[in-house]
Amino acid sequence: MLHVARIRALAGLTLVLLSACAGVRDTAEETASAQALAEPCLATPAEPEGANYLPDAPFKDVIYPPGMRGVRLVMSGTIFADDCRTPLDGAIMDVWQVDAQGHYDFSDRFVLRGKVRTDERGRYQFETIVPAQYGSRPPHMHLKISHPDAAILTTQLYFLGNDNGGVNPALVLGGRRDDGAIYATFDFVLGR
């Protein structure tokens, strides 16, 4: 039985699907179809880039190295144009985050840094680990998304269940646990 709970944030801008038994691909497609109907249509909120971005991260579907400690997180979703309906084929998502001890890597190994590209349906997927809290910041993931037909979006995602005081609720990510991993879906809308 498909059990999906939808949480709408900022008047339907962002849909986070929490599912006990839906597959990742099913969840992504549910999100995409629901997002396309969401009103009003607003771009995903931007957040500061911060001081820890490195521009030359390689393309990779798994951004943590083999054997790294932490809870595995499988992220997927769709990137839409500013009409909230047109999927952006070939959008590039650049991700960077700390590890499970709260440390950024600045080596040429680009640990927990990487780029993925959307497919013809605007979909992306990558694997990482859940980042730790560091300093005064709640756990978060940085993203920079670009496409020739859209404005660059630099933002951050936060995680449900933490003290996210003060962060935009439209950027809080939910997910479902399955076999020790977390599967999360998040759609983005790029502005012009």
For Fe ion, give the closer residue by CB, 23 or 50: 50
Q: Which is nearer to Fe ion, 125 or 133 (CB)?
A: 133
In whole angstroms, what is the distance from residue 92 CA to residue 88 CA? 10
Q: Is the Cα dihedral 62, 175, 21, 29 positive or negative?
A: negative
CB of 78 to Fe ion, least distance (A): 24
Minimum CB distance to Fe ion, residue 56 (Å)? 18
Compare residues 17 and 141 and give the one whose CB is closer to Fe ion: 141
- Rounded Cα–Cα distance for residues 93 and 118 (Å): 8
Shortest gap between Cβ of 96 and Fe ion (angstroms)? 8
Which C-beta is closer to Fe ion: that of 104 or that of 124? Answer: 104
Q: Do residues 111 and 134 make contact, with C-beta atoms less than 8 angstroms apart?
A: no
Tell me how far, at minimum, the Cβ of 139 lies from Fe ion, in Å.
9
DSSP state of 164: -
Neighbours of 4 (CB within 10 A): 17
Give Cα 25 to chain centroid, integer Å: 15
Measured from the CB of residue 137, what is the shortest distance to Fe ion in angstroms?
6
Q: Are 15 and 6 in contact (CB under 8 A)?
A: yes
List 14's β-bridge partners, or say none: 9
Number of chain positions touching Fe ion (CB under 5 A): 1
**Alpha-helix runs per DSSP H in the chain:** 24-37
Site for Fe ion in 39-68 (CB under 5 A): 50
Which residue sits closest to Fe ion, CB atoms considered? 50
Q: Where are the beta strands (DSSP E) in 118-168?
A: 123-129, 140-146, 153-159
Name the minimum Å distance from CB 184 to Fe ion.
Answer: 18
For Fe ion, the closer CB: 50 or 58: 50
90 vs 138, beta carbon nearer Fe ion: 138
Judged by the rule CB under 5 A, the positions of this chain that interact with Fe ion are 50
